[in-house]
Amino acid sequence: MGGQFFHFLHRFIYFLFFALILFLVGLNIFMSRGYSTISQETPQYLNVITLILAVSLSAMIFLFRKKLIRFLEKIPKFYTVFILLGLSLLLQTIAIRELSVTPSWDFGAVIDSAKLFVESGEIGEYFTIYPNNILLVCILALIGKISTPDLINFQVFNVIIITISQYLIYRIAAKVAGTAVGIASLLVSVLFFPYIFFAPIVYTDTISLIFLLLPLHILVNKNGEFRSHVFLVIAASILFSFGMLLKGSLVIFLIAFSIVLFLNQKKWRKLYFIIPFIILLIVKSVFNSSIYQFEILDMVAVEQKSMPVTHWIVMGQNKNKFGKYSQNDVVWTKDLLAKHSREVVSQIHYQELKNRISEKGLMGNILFNIEKIGHTWTDGTYYSLNKLRRIPEHPENFTKLTTQTPGDLVQGYARVQHLMLLIGLLFF
């Protein structure tokens, strides 16, 4: 009976994954947000041409997969990996040189606070309100202490993290599916649009990569099999937990890890599934206590001024902004915090959340969430160009990259690559 249940659970998860990817592929057929993120109109022909190219290239790779694998198996592994990682460093260096920006938005707050912390031992008021990026500030401050707290040093650190992450992608893929697939995965990651264009942006999107890939590397042995020794599970859980502290959305990988442990362990070892959550609580508690103990942040001020989780939930239902950042919601929450306790503010948020959901109605909520998902999952640039347009140091370079024929080629490349990755997840 138990075996049938776990078999059903396996099949249900596979079905859920397939249905989700199928939905995203369908969404990307009809939607493309690459141009809109930099306030441009999408050419009518682009979606059709890129879709045909993506499907054609995916079909060719599938039809000639055995020949491609044989070819990749023949080329010298060491030199190929070395050359591809060298190419990655070159592409990232060019991106930093030509497309670097003056730090602003959250990126600017992180960089400025890391510099301030190195120079004076203090941190800006920003993190009293938004303490979620404090781990990144501490990491960058450490880099600044070792070298100097200059943007270029932080960018070099960013490039190192991206490049190590690409190597880990190669190692994981090689262990699971063979050297040929590992090299193919490395090639894809080196040419992956955001890995190139996020190089100038030192933020959690890239720095958190190492805390996702390193535990996966630890958990897979040289034969591609899952290693579930309790010490490895604890080590991986610690890394995943720090990744979640850097970027909260990575909690989904912690949950996935827990599910894998529950499904694959035998008998009493299924209880291993609770280890990632216990480790997360310990890591989060120790980190927060350290931040307050060393007076990096003032606990009383954070309790009074920081945005409660409910702020982000209710802002995610802002129909005018389609769940994106809303300055009006920020001002509203700050006003509430100045007048009420956090518990009361959270209750007000919950009521507003109910109002916003009910106002949209059933069909309105469906359309609203399709638009939100489309904004997140149909931009092949992964929002990188939007971030590079914010106070560029060489605006003429950004203009050349994003307008007329070069702009169409860049957007086309991003969309074709994005579609091929989704198609690959769906069929391969």
Note the pLDDT of residue 206: 93
Which residue(s) pair with 101 in the sheet? Answer: 392
Note the pLDDT of residue 184: 95
Note the pLDDT of residue 274: 94
CB 115 within 8 Å of CB 126? no
How far apart (Å, rounded) are the C-alpha atoms in residues 148 and 154? 9
CB 387 within 8 Å of CB 395? no
Provide the Cα torsion 362, 366, 372, 377; round to 10°. 160
Measure Cα distances from 241 to 234, 261, 329 in Å.
Answer: 10, 16, 29
Note the pLDDT of residue 401: 93
CB 272 within 8 Å of CB 233? yes
CB 186 within 8 Å of CB 140? no
Note the pLDDT of residue 100: 96
Name the pTM for this structure.
0.92
Note the pLDDT of residue 139: 94
* Average confidence (pLDDT) per 10 residues, the chain, 428 residues: 71 87 91 90 90 95 92 93 97 97 92 91 82 90 93 96 97 94 95 95 93 94 89 94 90 89 85 93 94 87 85 89 85 90 92 93 91 89 94 94 92 95 86
